[in-house]
């Protein structure tokens, strides 16, 4: 009889552990969905900024038609990408590259770089990029923790029983990620050349005039 109770106790223990593991998988999946929603929000905010940014630049460089068309086309492709994180990241690559072309045009127009509307748009875009990178790191950390549990024993048993599969990371192209978000330097400071000064002997001082003669 004692053996029966031991077996029952072991089965109950495994059942409890299985329920806990299953619930943790569910919580992790929800956390991944929530963190991906944060990325999507920042991406949509960036897409919304681009039309006004393009129109502002067009007012100063209307002849750069190919650049504007490239940005508009890449933005439309990225905004319409609704697949997996890997597919979304693949669409982001050409879009960020097109943005870099647009900001390269801006560098040729000092008046545009001082335009208040452009400054406000660029600042909002920069803030959005910072939030996007923070959201991306948070999402990838959650995916990493979840994927580790999918592959580890004994949680992998629950994962296989209930169909918990590995999630995809959101990674952009290495070259684009290392370069960081597109930014423009608005300091407008001209580079100063370091002129090497050669040591020269000091100029001779003027002779001191003699004192006037004393009056008698």
pLDDT digits (tens, 9 = 90+) for 186-214: 444 333 333 333 334 444 444 444 444 44
Q: How is residue 123 written in tokens?
A: 């600042």
pLDDT, tens digit (0-9, with 9 covering 90-100), for 148-164: 999 999 999 999 999 99
Cis ω on the peptide bond leading into residue 154 (within 30° of 0)? yes
DSSP 8-class letter at 193: P
Would you say residue 36 has pLDDT above 90?
yes
Per-residue confidence (pLDDT) for residue 173, from 0 to 100: 60
pLDDT tens readout for residues 89-134: 889 989 999 999 999 999 999 999 889 999 999 999 999 999 999 9
pLDDT at 22 over 80: yes
CB of 103 within 8 A of CB of 121?
A: no
In order of 207, 208, 209, the CA distances from 214 in angstroms are 21, 18, 15
The domain 2-179 is placed in CATH, from the list 1.20.1440.20, 3.90.230.10, 3.40.50.170, 3.50.50.60, at 1.20.1440.20
The per-residue pLDDT for 82 is 80
What angle, rounded to 10 degrees, do the helices at 2-58 and 116-151 form? 160
Confidence band (pLDDT; 50, 70, 90) for 166? Answer: very high
Phi, psi of 5 (to 5 degrees): -65, -35
Both ends of the chain: CA-CA distance in Å?
142
Please check whether residue 88 is in contact with residue 170, taking contact to mean a CB–CB distance below 8 angstroms.
yes
Length reported for the chain? 216
């Amino acid at each position: 009889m004692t053996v029966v109770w031991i077996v029952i106790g072991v089965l109950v223990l495994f059942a409890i552990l299985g329920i806990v593991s299953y619930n943790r998988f569910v919580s992790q999946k929800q956390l991944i969905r929530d963190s991906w929603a944060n990325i999507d929000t920042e991406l949509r905010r960036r897409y919304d900024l681009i039309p006004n940014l393009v129109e502002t630049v067009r007012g100063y460089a209307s002849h750069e038609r190919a650049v504007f068309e490239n940005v508009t086309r890449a933005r439309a492709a990225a905004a319409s990408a609704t697949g997996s994180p890997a597919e979304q990241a693949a669409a982001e690559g050409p879009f960020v590259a097109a943005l870099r072309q647009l900001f390269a045009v801006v560098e040729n127009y000092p008046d545009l770089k001082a335009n208040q509307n452009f400054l406000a748009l660029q600042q909002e875009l920069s803030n959005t990029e910072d939030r996007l990178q923070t959201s991306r790191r948070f999402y990838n950390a959650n995916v990493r923790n979840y994927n580790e549990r999918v592959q580890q024993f004994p949680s992998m048993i629950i994962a296989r029983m209930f169909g918990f599969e590995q999630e995809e990371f959101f990674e952009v192209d290495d070259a684009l990620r290392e370069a960081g978000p597109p930014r423009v330097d608005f300091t407008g400071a001209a580079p100063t050349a370091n002129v090497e000064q050669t040591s020269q002997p000091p100029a001779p001082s003027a002779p001191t005039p003699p004192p006037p003669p004393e009056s008698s």
